[in-house]
Amino acid sequence: MNDALTLLQPYPFEKLRGLLADAKPSADKRPISLSIGEPKHRSPDFVAQALTDNLDQLAVYPTTLGIPALRESIARWCERRFGVTAGAVDPARHVLPVNGTREALFAFTQAVVRREPGALVLSPNPFYQIYEGAALLAGATPHYLPCTEANGFNPDFDAVPTDVWQRTQILFLCSPGNPTGALVPLDTLKRLITLADEHDFVIAADECYSELYFDESQPPAGLLTACAALGRDDFHRCVVFHSLSKRSNLPGLRSGFVAGDAEILKAFLLYRTYHGCAMPVQTQLASIAAWNDEAHVRANRELYREKFDAVLDILAPVMDVRRPDGGFYLWPRTPIDDQRFTRELFAREHVTVVPGSYLSREVDGLNPGSGRVRMALVAPLAECIEAAQRIRAFIESL
């Protein structure tokens, strides 16, 4: 067996099951889960129709590169969404379809990391655990950058020592952040590109929550926005990861893409031809329909705005909680230890959240998730309101 498997930590939800295993919730209260970030809004009917209309493609072997029409629709979406120069995103060179960002983030790390002593993969902390596992299994060492309230829940990149940058092979970004909801500012993205040039590392920007934001007049910037602002039409050292899971409420479609540096994607394509991860053609055709439509995405954002407004009105008087910049998570401070809070909330109110310490790593005595919980506002509005009311009652009883 691969010795690196012994380095992998249990997933947060495995830890959560252990924490709640012998807790006995009240039988008179229905369970409400705010723990898993699985979108519950209705998937677009027209995407389902496109999928069923093309079931004859089950008889066709898909190619790893994907059909030209899908890569074309993704390329044009990137240009519309992130202000990239028209025609700069070459569908044949700058885009690869993937089966959701999770498998792509993992596989990308295996393809990019050079197995050499001291290799680092930098990650925000707290973070999506795939970043850590992918680094370890690629033979690199994860290096955690704390995301604290004092720095707007973003890493303090100015505090990273030069010798760390020099050993860095991949810098993972997540904007809006999971679980913090914080956006990496455009000026910071531009500065990171300069650092990538100086120290020869790749920026891997996980932007799967990029289409969940609150101000329709100000879509958040992404790494491609920074490339455009710098006139960097070759996207050198920059790669972005996007998905239809959150944007279009299609987590079961397993459809996303990777876009950016053509030379990196050429090597990544070679890796993927061995990896055996081609997207089924009927899924590709359904994905085209989703990427070409924005009306359902705007409607999706409105549903989340309504839930955030309602839940924050209930919780703000009793919790240290604020509206995030984007995404669908709340990241409140807890009045007691986050694990105790999670366990007692479940036992007394039958509401499930995730301890923030399960989403972070302790470094130099600091776990930036400690004393916080993650709440995913993915349930229907009425359930989110009821969960918030139960959480408030629980806090007021402490």
The confidence score (pLDDT) of residue 232 equals: 94
Angle between helix axes 12-20 and 338-349 (nearest 10 degrees) is 60
The confidence score (pLDDT) of residue 27 equals: 83
Q: What angle do CA 181, 221, 355 make, to 5 degrees?
A: 10
- Please list the residue range(s) of the chain that carry CATH number 3.90.1150.10: 10-42+296-397
Q: In whole angstroms, what is the distance from residue 65 CA to residue 279 CA?
A: 9
Architecture of the domain whose range is 10-42+296-397: Alpha-Beta Complex (3.90)
Q: In whole angstroms, what is the distance from residue 285 CA to residue 271 CA?
A: 24
> What is the distance of C-alpha 41 from the center of its chain?
18
3-state SS string for 268-308:
HHHHHHHHCCCCCHHHHHHHHHHHCCCHHHHHHHHHHHHHH
Half-sphere exposure of 236 (CA within 13 A, CB side): 10
In 3D space, the residue among 223, 188, 198, 279 whose CA is nearest the CA of residue 89 turns out to be 223
The confidence score (pLDDT) of residue 102 equals: 95
Three-state SS at 117: coil
Task: Sheet with 202-206: list strands edge to edge.
Answer: 95-98, 256-260, 238-243, 202-206, 168-174, 120-125, 141-146
- CA distances to 52, 96, 116, 258 from 64, rounded to whole Å, are 22, 8, 29, 13
- CATH number for 45-292 (one of 3.30.1360.30, 1.10.1270.20, 3.40.640.10, 3.30.1540.10): it is 3.40.640.10
Q: In whole angstroms, what is the distance from residue 301 CA to residue 172 CA?
A: 25
The confidence score (pLDDT) of residue 91 equals: 98
Q: In whole angstroms, what is the distance from residue 323 CA to residue 93 CA?
A: 38
Is this prediction's pTM over 0.85? Answer: yes
Q: Is the peptide bond before 176 cis (omega within 30 degrees of 0)?
A: yes
In 3D space, the residue among 210, 240, 241, 204 whose CA is nearest the CA of residue 328 turns out to be 210
Per-residue pLDDT of the chain (398 residues; tens, 9 = 90+): 999 999 999 999 999 999 999 999 988 999 999 999 999 999 999 999 999 999 999 999 999 999 999 999 999 999 999 999 999 999 999 999 999 999 999 999 999 999 999 999 999 999 999 999 999 999 999 999 999 999 999 999 999 999 999 999 999 999 999 999 999 999 999 999 999 999 999 999 999 999 999 999 999 999 999 999 999 999 999 999 999 999 999 999 999 999 999 999 999 999 999 988 999 999 999 999 999 999 999 999 999 999 999 999 999 999 999 999 999 999 999 999 999 999 999 999 999 999 999 999 999 999 999 999 999 999 999 999 999 999 999 999 99
Q: What angle do CA 76, 235, 105 make, to 5 degrees?
A: 85
Q: What angle do CA 376, 247, 262 make, to 5 degrees?
A: 120
Three-state SS at 22: coil
The answer to whether 40 and 378 have CB atoms below 8 angstroms apart is yes
DSSP one-letter string for 194-215: HHHHHHT-EEEEE-TTTT-BS-
**Residue 275 in tokens:** 């990896």
- Please list the residue range(s) of the chain that carry CATH number 3.40.640.10: 45-292
The confidence score (pLDDT) of residue 204 equals: 98
In 3D space, the residue among 89, 96, 92 whose CA is nearest the CA of residue 75 turns out to be 89
> What is the distance of C-alpha 61 from the center of its chain?
29
